[in-house]
Amino acid sequence: YTGNHRPLAFLGALGAGVAAGARIEGGDIRDVPATVLALLGVDPPAHFEGRERTRDLLHRSFTEAV
């Protein structure tokens, strides 16, 4: 099995600062690595095509503190 190669993805997150029931509309599978790296405080490489989506995922009060 090599996967389905579709650009759709989901990301489950739980923890302090994660907005309950948050949904990221218009996301893409390529956004997942960029978002995870951003949450870890690491800048994604220049060749990454995905966008960092932490502001869509986290509580507003948490992102304002970052």
- For residues 65 and 47, which has the higher predicted lDDT (pLDDT)? 47
- For residues 56 and 46, which has the higher predicted lDDT (pLDDT)? 46
With 60 as the cut, is the pLDDT of residue 65 above it? no
**What integer pLDDT is reported at residue 42 of this predicted model?**
92
Q: What is the pLDDT of residues 10-55, one digit of tens each?
A: 667 777 777 777 777 777 888 888 888 988 899 888 898 888 887 7
Burial class (CB in 10 A: 0-12, 13-18, 19+), 27: buried
Using DSSP's 3-state secondary structure scheme, residue 58 falls into strand
What's this model's pTM, rounded to 2 decimal places?
A: 0.63
Q: How many CB atoms are located within 10 Å of the residue 34 CB?
A: 21
